[in-house]
Amino acid sequence: ATVPAIRLNNGVEIPQLGFGVYQVPPDRTVEAVRTALEVGYRHIDTAEMYGNEKEVGQAVRESGIDRSEVFVTSKLNNGFHRRGDALKAFDQTLDDLGFDYLDLFLIHWPLPTIDVDYVETWKAMEEIYAGGKCRAVGVSNFNPHHLRRLFGETEVRPAVNQIEVHPYLTNDEVRAFDAEHEIVTEAWSPIAQGKVLDDPAIVAIAEKLDRTPAQVVLRWHVQRGDVVFPKSVTRARVEENFALFDFELDEGQMATVTGLDRGERTGPDPDTFDYVP
């Protein structure tokens, strides 16, 4: 079974399942991405902050797979929110990847408490999009109040909002707001970095379906319509996380997983996070 494509608000299609490379050390990234591409992944999620864009680019370029068949996302780092810095950072990202275009570029964090307004940063993203070397632009870790300001003061609607979502943080208010405004939600840390996999309710569903807990949780995301990109450097897990399209959770199982929500973040809160390297 193949990975479905989701159509973004500008018509560009993104594979619903990808491979994330946060915390993959640069010296293991070429091998990890090569493995993911061999397994069948055609969507890689990286960021300038992860320090492995060069290796992601190298693995994609050396794979022999046509560039147009691999969807690559990167993100603007927190130190580059001023217009000029953002434009330069995008060029640097392209250069490091060794690509002549990027599929999706995101503002990594809104940083509402620093002295650069993310509206200025989004206007730079609009310029990057207009420049034609990026097929879509979006945001990450934006809450509805951040997005409303963009809607009021800028032209281009973000194509995606990449936010933390997993069974312990279903984040349904932000997801609903995204959906209302034709913004695709991407769920980061989809298995809460492994924390949800021992949950008895998830283990029970996995046993019933003869699947693993990770597959149950990732399938739950897929059925909710979000884009996911689990991370692993272990080939067996990379394969396991890709095998999501030959089984289903029924309505009751979906509701059970959604009911595990307890508002628990594994990462920072977008309203207060202000780390600039």
Residues noted as catalytic: 50
d(CA 72, CA 184): 16
Position 268: which residue type? Answer: P
Distance of alpha carbon 55 from alpha carbon 217, whole angstroms: 29
In whole angstroms, give the CA distance from residue 90 to residue 221: 30
Q: Which residue is nearest to ligand NAD (CB)?
A: 20
Instruction: Check binding of 168 to ligand NAD (CB under 6 A).
Output: no
Count other Cβ atoms within 10 Å, centred on residue 21: 27
- Tell me which amino acid residue 231 is: K
Among 40, 79, 144, 267, binds ligand NAD (CB under 6 A): 267
DSSP code for 66: -
Greatest alpha-carbon pair distance for the chain in Å reads 54
Return the number of the residue (24 or 155) whose C-beta is nearest ligand NAD: 24
Closest separation between CB of residue 92 and ligand NAD, Å? Answer: 19
If the CB atoms of residues 162 and 256 are measured against ligand NAD, the closer one turns out to be 162
How many residues make contact with ligand NAD (CB under 6 A)? 25
d(CA 138, CA 257): 28
Q: Phi first, then psi: give them for residue 37, nearest 5 degrees.
A: -65, -35
**CB neighbours (10 Å) of residue 272?**
8
Among 237, 243, 254, 265, binds ligand NAD (CB under 6 A): 237
Whichever of 59 and 64 has its CB closer to ligand NAD, that residue is 59
- What number of helices (H) and strands (E) belong to the chain? 10, 10
Contact region with ligand NAD (CB under 6 A), list: 51-59, 115-123, 198-206, 233-241: 233-241
What radius of gyration do the chain's Cα atoms show? 18
In the shown chain, the binding pattern of residues 93 to 132 toward ligand NAD, with x for contact by CB under 6 A and - for none, equals ---------------x------------------------
If one asks whether residue 185 binds ligand NAD (CB under 6 A), the answer comes out as no
Residue from 78, 140, 143, 171 touching ligand NAD (CB under 6 A): that is 140
| Contact flag: residue 203 with ligand NAD (CB under 6 A) | no
Q: Is 161 in the site for ligand NAD (CB under 6 A)?
A: no
Our CB check for ligand NAD shows the closer of 35 and 189 to be 189
Rule CB under 6 A: say whether 16 interacts with ligand NAD.
no
Considering the complex, state which of residue 155 and residue 268 has its C-beta at the smaller distance from ligand NAD.
268
Q: Per residue in 207-231, is it b (16+ CB within 10 Å) or e — as a string?
A: eebebbbbbbbbbbbbbbebbbbbb
- Residues within the interface to ligand NAD (CB under 6 A): 20-22, 45, 108, 140-141, 162, 188-194, 197, 214, 229-232, 237, 240-241, 267
